[in-house]
Amino acid sequence: MADSVIHADKLSETQFEYMKLIAELMEIRKRGEKPVAFIRTYGCQQNVADSEKIKGMLSVSGFVFADAPDDADFILFNTCAVREHAEDRVFGNVGALKNLKRKHPQILIALCGCMMEQKHIAERIYKSFPFVGLVFGTHSLHHFPELMYSSLVNGRRVFERGNDDNKLYEGIPVRRDGVFKGWLPIMYGCNNFCTYCIVPYVRGRERSRETDIIVSEAKEMINCGYKDITLLGQNVNSYGKTLENKTNFSQLLRKIDQIDGDYWLRFMTSHPKDCSKELIDTIAESVHISRHLHLPFQSGSDRILKAMNRHYDRKKYLEIISYAKEKIPDVSLTSDIIVGFPGETYEDFKETLSLIREVEFTSLFTFIFSPREGTPAAKMEDPVPAEEKSKWFRELLDVQEEIAAKRCSSMVGKTEKVLIEGKTGKDNELIGRTSGNIIVELNAPEELIGTFQNVKITKARNWILKGELE
């Protein structure tokens, strides 16, 4: 089926009016003092990017931001639904706000994000957490000011889950958390329906932002001093399918790469089914794209990949990897893996182990399968007991530790360009990352935070490198 063209709408003037009304209301309530917001974000960078928009709208509404909920007038948790553990953490942390609300009844407690797009969750919040005054899902971001104003002014509980999953909004103010590392969403939603995954149900269908808008936002970020920009999407390799002027992901990367400046360009996540040779050539030929490919394979077993609805097999995955290694010899590879998918046997799991041995990833994000209500995998038979899955999981970690140590030791003696990101907490010790996204610790003056430095790698400790300024 051809993807239909999706045009972006602009954030309406009405929402800016509501931001003004919130500012006026809070000025009266706080008697001229600035209102304070506390935002906590769970989950992936998509959520981080959404929180930066919420903070943008709150800034326009006159809010400043706190690092803890205690003195806030507005508390918001932006939630993640990807695994049960993520949801449990949210429930636990929301429960802990009950006393705060009792002490300060005037505060507004709100929940938003992926969890809130699920009916059963919104209902549970409604019943079990009466002190939560505002709930909205990922599709309601473009009228957050209206929803917030309505709950502030009426004192009534406002619950909204949107259904307009084919919409795209531009012009939402953004307040970025980082000053040299920044996120740049290029598309929203997902059409892949991997059988274990809740994301397509809570984020709606795939829709891409206009190329020109992305390129000018990247330009703006680079001019403001951003040194490390990550393009975001659930499957960036299928970028552009909903655009009128079709542009594919490689073409978008090439356009951004042409912008002058000293910066790195990263992206996530790539889906192996759409990972083209053109993309790898683009990385290899670029000036700014980091030498890093995060390419989640999930399982090394073809039988399981099929059950996961991933649309590639082990052979295709390994072909992409060997092409990447050939064209980008210093490429750093990372991946996501699910252990214990329903019906997975130890034999299947061994295929995953053999794949990681073959590829030699720098690091892995590993997860034990978590059934998500409403997804096909949640209904599949899952006979392997949890303790057995945990055993496999530990085996996977042990093998990867060995591989990462070998991979990192091979870098000792080399000089790497490193972006210095912050302090480790130990005296004079700073932390940075290589183009391949590998962590480097070094002793250097604090003033270097936010700059690129050439660092000689002197030691490797598992997946962390130690180095010194050259």
CB 213: neighbour CB atoms within 10 A? 13
Burial grade of 449 (CB within 10 A; 0-12, 13-18, 19 or more): middle
* Sign of the dihedral defined by the CA atoms of residues 90, 93, 96, 100, in that order: negative
Residue with tokens 């802990």, as numbered in its chain: 96
Among 108, 152, 305, 338, binds ligand SAH (CB under 6 A): 338
Q: What is the C-alpha to C-alpha distance for residues 461 and 50, in angstroms, rounded to an integer?
A: 35
> Which has the closest alpha carbon to 215: 196, 231, 194?
231
Among 230, 234, 248, 400, binds ligand SAH (CB under 6 A): 234
Q: What is the bridge-based pairing of β-strands 108-113 and 134-136?
A: parallel
Which among ligand F3S, ligand SAH, ligand SF4, none contacts residue 232 (Cβ within 5 to 8 A by kind)? none
Asked if residue 113 binds ligand SF4 (CB under 6 A), the reply is no
Which among ligand SF4, ligand SAH, ligand F3S, none contacts residue 305 (Cβ within 5 to 8 A by kind)? none
Name the segment binding ligand F3S (CB under 6 A); options: 2-10, 195-203, 209-217, 427-435.
195-203
Asked if residue 363 binds ligand SAH (CB under 6 A), the reply is no
CB of 46 to ligand SAH, least distance (A): 9
208 backbone dihedrals φ, ψ, rounded to 5°: -105, 145
CB of 157 to ligand SAH, least distance (A): 30
Asked if residue 203 binds ligand F3S (CB under 6 A), the reply is yes
C-alpha to C-alpha distances, 75 to 78, 140, 145, 201, 216, nearest whole angstrom: 10, 17, 14, 26, 33
Residues 381-440 that bind ligand SF4 (CB under 6 A): none
Residues 171-200 that bind ligand SF4 (CB under 6 A): 190, 192-194, 197, 199-200
CB of 270 to ligand F3S, least distance (A): 16
65 versus 393: smaller Cβ distance to ligand SAH? 393
CB of 87 to ligand F3S, least distance (A): 9
Cβ atoms of residues 465 and 457 within 8 Å: yes
* Stretch 46-65: interaction string toward ligand F3S, x if CB under 6 A: xx------------------
Which among ligand SF4, ligand F3S, ligand SAH, none contacts residue 200 (Cβ within 5 to 8 A by kind)? ligand SF4
CB of 380 to ligand SAH, least distance (A): 12
C-alpha to C-alpha distances, 209 to 13, 116, 275, nearest whole angstrom: 20, 24, 20
Asked if residue 367 binds ligand SAH (CB under 6 A), the reply is yes
187 versus 199: smaller Cβ distance to ligand F3S? 199
C-alpha to C-alpha distances, 332 to 217, 220, 335, 411, nearest whole angstrom: 27, 28, 10, 11
Number of residues that bind ligand SF4 (CB under 6 A): 10
User: Which positions ≥6 away from 209 have C-beta within 8 Å?
Assistant: 8, 168, 170, 185, 186, 187
Q: What is the C-alpha to C-alpha distance for residues 46 and 282, in angstroms, rounded to an integer?
A: 24
Q: What is the C-alpha to C-alpha distance for residues 269 and 253, in angstroms, rounded to an integer?
A: 14
Asked if residue 46 binds ligand SF4 (CB under 6 A), the reply is no
CB of 84 to ligand F3S, least distance (A): 12
Asked if residue 65 binds ligand SAH (CB under 6 A), the reply is no
227 versus 271: smaller Cβ distance to ligand F3S? 271
Residues 205-234 that bind ligand SF4 (CB under 6 A): 234
Q: What is the C-alpha to C-alpha distance for residues 441 and 420, in angstroms, rounded to an integer?
A: 9
Q: What is the C-alpha to C-alpha distance for residues 116 and 120, in angstroms, rounded to an integer?
A: 9
Reduce the DSSP state of residue 442 to 3 states and report it.
strand
Among 336, 360, 373, 382, binds ligand SAH (CB under 6 A): 336
Per-position DSSP letters for 1-67, written without gaps between them: -PPPP-PPEEPPHHHHHHHHHHHHHHHHHTTTSPPEEEEEE-SSHHHHHHHHHHHHHHHHTT-EE-S
* Stretch 268-287: interaction string toward ligand SAH, x if CB under 6 A: -x-x----------------
Residues 93-122 that bind ligand F3S (CB under 6 A): 114
CB 346: neighbour CB atoms within 10 A? 11
CB of 189 to ligand F3S, least distance (A): 9
Which among ligand SF4, ligand SAH, ligand F3S, none contacts residue 193 (Cβ within 5 to 8 A by kind)? ligand SF4
Provide the token pair at 415: 């000089």
Q: What is the C-alpha to C-alpha distance for residues 131 and 125, in angstroms, rounded to an integer?
A: 9
Asked if residue 80 binds ligand SAH (CB under 6 A), the reply is no
Cβ atoms of residues 123 and 116 within 8 Å: no
Q: Which residues bind ligand SF4 (CB under 6 A)?
A: 190, 192-194, 197, 199-200, 234-235, 271
Binding site for ligand F3S (CB under 6 A): 43-44, 46-47, 80-82, 114, 198-199, 202-203
**Interaction site with ligand SAH (CB under 6 A):** 82-83, 196-197, 199, 234-235, 269, 271, 296, 298, 336, 338, 367, 369-370, 372
